[in-house]
Amino acid sequence: MSEQLTPEFVRSALESAPDAMIMIDAAGQVLFANQQLFALFGYTRADILNRSVDILLPERFRARHVAHRERFAAEQRMRPMGQGRELYARRKDGTEFPVEISLSPIQDGDKRLVAAAIRDTTERARVQRELIAAREAAERARQVAVEARELADRANQAKTRFLATASHDLRQPLQSIALLNGTLRRVLDDRHALEEALDYQDQAIGAMSRLLNALLDISKLESGAIKPEPADFPIAPVFEELRREFANVAQSKGLQFRVESTCDCAHSDPSLVGQVLRNLVSNAIKYTQTGAVRLQSLPRPRSLRIEVCDTGIGIPAAQIPFIYDEFYQVGVSTNTTRDGYGLGLSIVRRIVNLLDVRLDVVSEVGKGSMFAIELPRAHTMIHGESKRTSHATAPTMQQAPQILLVEDDAAVRNATRMLLRAEGYRVLTAGTVAEAQAVAREHPLDALVTDYHLNADETGSQVINSVRSIRGAQVRAVLITGDTSAAIQELEQDERLRMARKPIHAEEFLGLLKSLLER
């Protein structure tokens, strides 16, 4: 200690030092402690003075402390205590707190003392923990951003591939149609060549329509425009519709198409379930050369399992994860001309996700495949199907039926008018609700053919209502629409209304109109 300073002054300087200070002898007995130490540990002077310093340590460190003290005594120099280790102190109330301790040797005559400054590092540890947590959070956020960017890149690449394949597949039939049109102009006098070219054109148009329909389905599902409308419904009518739809094509391939009878009822969206099964049955028939395709419903305790089984070519196990990708076809590279487009199962995947329905596939090459969906069972029993009754009476027509065609697009209007005229109908045309009303006031009508979405937000339903208010509710109508959901609702309620889905197929459309007029 300094010779100029009195011991009292040194004592009072130590008392008012900012850190807790303590002085011990070689045996670890406390010779001095300042106010900060009492405040920090909750002891009084009497509790500590002349007692072992061990009471300031958590019990688990006390045994080791003796050895530490001896090591410090052997190599006395100023240094922090327990370098690299976390140090803890113990208050009088038993609670522990992290500390930083600096030791310095003091020689008092022949006595070797140790002075220690003790600093509570609780606050610093907290700040450090927060800093580490903040750094980790920032790192996690950076990771998420990187992953999001990678995902966006992959989505972009997928979109580019999607557009490239879609445009390729649309360009092929378009190209055929353009060439065939050139041929048609040159062979007008050759009936045989004319028919052949028209058949090819039909095929090309069919291919474009199928692809366009699939793309529209995907875009509607992607955009969230399709909202499932779950209800209890019987499976039998869905099966019956599929049987009617696919019986001919199965027969033409020499395949058995077995639709098992069922009284089961499910709770889901019947039209979306129908769309899933339509795609699965269509594939089963397409990829089966001999044998049978079977559609059946198997009741489970809480669900209905609907299976589409075939005895077809099967799918290699390694390919199964990819068959739901857009434009993916087993063994066919994209951008080659193919049968089908590889979109059916990607539509199925989107619908089952939307319906939250499980889809399973089991397949063996050369033996066949089984696709199954698992639907929730109906909440209530449904007894029989409500049969719709018809009160329509066939009109007596002395001459060709008169049709009012309402279409806002001039090119489509002209093409439809020509088709109807070529079929022998008398045709009047309109582009808006007002024009349709004007025609209806002037002319008797046997049927109305109207587009659903007209200009200025007018709809085909408005056309039908206003024409019927003039000419009577018996006027039959065909609603042409790509927007099936809204139109189907009207169809359920109206026996004199039919719906034609866009893009319309000439023969189907004329067949529909004919059957409507014959009712």
Q: Specify the residue, 293 or 500, whose C-beta has the smaller distance to ligand ADP.
A: 293
Longest dimension (CA), the chain: 139
Site string for ligand ADP, 282-311 (x = CB under 6 A): -xx-xx----------------------x-
Least CB distance from residue 201 to ligand ADP, whole Å?
22
Pick 116 or 313: Cβ nearer ligand ADP: 313
Q: Is position 369 an interface residue for ligand ADP (rule: CB under 6 A)?
A: yes
323 binds ligand ADP (CB under 6 A): yes
Query: Which residues, numbered 52-71, are part of the site for ligand ADP (CB under 6 A)?
Result: none
Distance of CA 165 to the CA centre of its chain: 22
Q: Which residues contact 15 (CB under 8 A, 6 or more apart)?
A: 34, 35
Contact by Cβ (8 Å): 361, 370: yes
C-alpha torsion sign, points 203, 206, 210, 215: positive
Stretch that binds ligand ADP, among 185-193, 326-334, 431-439, 485-493 (CB under 6 A): 326-334
Binding region for ligand ADP (CB under 6 A) out of 255-263, 313-321, 395-403, 502-510: 313-321
Supply 386's token pair: 């409500």
Q: Which of 215, 222, 219 is nearest to 170 (CA)?
A: 215
Which amino acid is residue 408, in one-letter code?
D
CA distance 407 to 429: 8
Alpha-carbon dihedral 321, 326, 329, 332, rounded to 10 degrees: -120
Distance, CA of 366 to CA of 364 (rounded, Å): 6
Contact region with ligand ADP (CB under 6 A), list: 63-71, 82-90, 278-286, 375-383: 278-286
Q: How many alpha carbons fall within 13 Å on the CB side of residue 346? A: 20
Pick one of 342, 401, 431, 460: the residue that binds ligand ADP (CB under 6 A): 342
- Interacting stretch for ligand ADP, rule CB under 6 A, among 139-147, 264-272, 280-288, 430-438? 280-288
* Number of chain residues interacting with ligand ADP (CB under 6 A): 21
Which 98-137 positions form the footprint of ligand ADP (CB under 6 A)? Answer: none
Nearest distance from C-beta of residue 387 to ligand ADP, angstroms: 34
Q: Cβ distance 74 to 105 under 8 Å? A: no
Could you tell me the smallest distance in angstroms from the CB atom of residue 321 to ligand ADP?
11
Q: Which residues bind ligand ADP (CB under 6 A)?
A: 283-284, 286-287, 310, 312-315, 323, 328-330, 340-346, 369
